[in-house]
Chains A and B, each alone.
Chain A
Amino acid sequence: MPPDLNELIMRIREKDEAAFKTLVGMYIQPAYRLAFRILGNEEEAEETVQDTFVRVWQKIGSYDPSREFPTWMNRILVNLSLDRLEKIRRSPLVPIEQAKQALADLRSSNPGKQTEDRDIAVLIRYLAEGLPHTQRLVFILRDIEGLSSGEVEAMTDLKETSVKSNLYYARRSIREQLTRITAKEGSVKWS
């Protein structure tokens, strides 16, 4: 039976490290998944997850129990990921051949077979190349993570109209990027 989250948080507020370890065990994988999708890099995602949990430990006193804990934690993670994106902005671009290979691997994989994280990371980085951070973030949260507009607004402090417009421009840019690697197959359609 999973431990009661509210009780865990109460104990963490009293600086109970064992309770915090339980919390880390509960949320480390979802946190890594989100960080990986935003950053498109395994090492950076791992470091961001560590920073996020340390920040959660430091700031748990300011957590409002009336709010959803995962949303509060993801907000921290999103902010730290954005900071990290800013730092790695000048990392080398993904070569188009590499992106083509990653896409081919993705297509050839069976639905049951687990695709390599590396291929997904390459594709995310390639598709999100040149996107402003906000557009990238909204795209990842809405289309990849499948969160609702309300959840995205809570995590990013953006208004509904802003979420919609950022998503629109992000999708358009990503479609163009995808067209470049699937040029032989003709234009790319959204649906």
Chain B
Amino acid sequence: MELKEVIGRIRDHQPVLKEPERVTESIMKAISKESQRGKSGTLLFVQRLLAAASLALLLIFGSEQFVIVHKVSRLETQLSKAGPAPHYPDPFTLVSAGMITAPGTQRFFSAEKPRGPVFLRFIQKQLASNPLK
């Protein structure tokens, strides 16, 4: 059998898609999904844009706040250098770090110099190391 004849037979044979409707439906479903993906892609883009904008606003306000606090703090430092020491009126006076006593109260729990019996010193030491408890 000659090659040309075989090729001719193959050429004459027209392969036919058996269920074109099913394949068409499958194609249409695929493109519908594609369209939805496009829409949800737009939505996702908008969401991300909004998230980025809110983050940018937070950064802007945060930096503004930092600048203001820094300026106030610098101003306070300058004022303290220029004028008399600030006076904090009664009723509270800072005795030492972590120890605030009201006016007239006994400085019994002092972290600086424990006094009294040994067990009392121990309690004083504990309280001084963690005054909030």
Contact = CB atoms under 8 A, between A and B. Distances in A.
Contacts of B14: 33
Contacts, number: 97
Interface in B1-28: 1-4, 6-7, 9-17, 20, 23-24, 26-28
Nearest to B15: A36
B46 interface: no
A158 interface: no
A124 B13 CA distance: 12
A76 interface: no
Interface stretch (B31-39, B49-57, B59-67): B31-39
A124 B16 CA distance: 16
Given A54-B34, A143-B11, A49 B17 contact: yes
B120 interface: no
A178 B32 contact: no
Interface of B is mostly: helix
Interface string A114-151: 11010010011001000000000000000111100000
A145 B10 CA distance: 10
A80 interface: no
Contacts of B4: 189-191
A74 interface: no
Interface of A is mostly: helix
A21 B24 contact: yes
B41 to A, nearest CB: 13
Contact of B11 (A17, A20, A49, A146): A146
B17 A32 contact: yes
B3 A188 contact: yes
A72 interface: no
Contacts of A46: 17, 23
B17 A188 contact: no
Contact of B10 (A50, A54, A123): A123
Nearest to B25: A21
B30 interface: yes
A37 B35 CA distance: 31
Interface string A40-61: 0010011001100110011000
A84 interface: no
Nearest to B32: A17
A107 B1 contact: yes
10 contacts: A15-B35, A17-B31, A24-B24, A28-B20, A37-B10, A46-B17, A114-B13, A120-B15, A143-B7, A144-B10
Given A32-B15, A103-B6, 18 more contacts: A15-B35, A17-B31, A20-B28, A28-B23, A29-B17, A32-B17, A33-B15, A46-B23, A54-B27, A57-B31, A106-B6, A120-B13, A144-B11, A145-B11, A174-B3, A188-B2, A190-B2, A191-B2
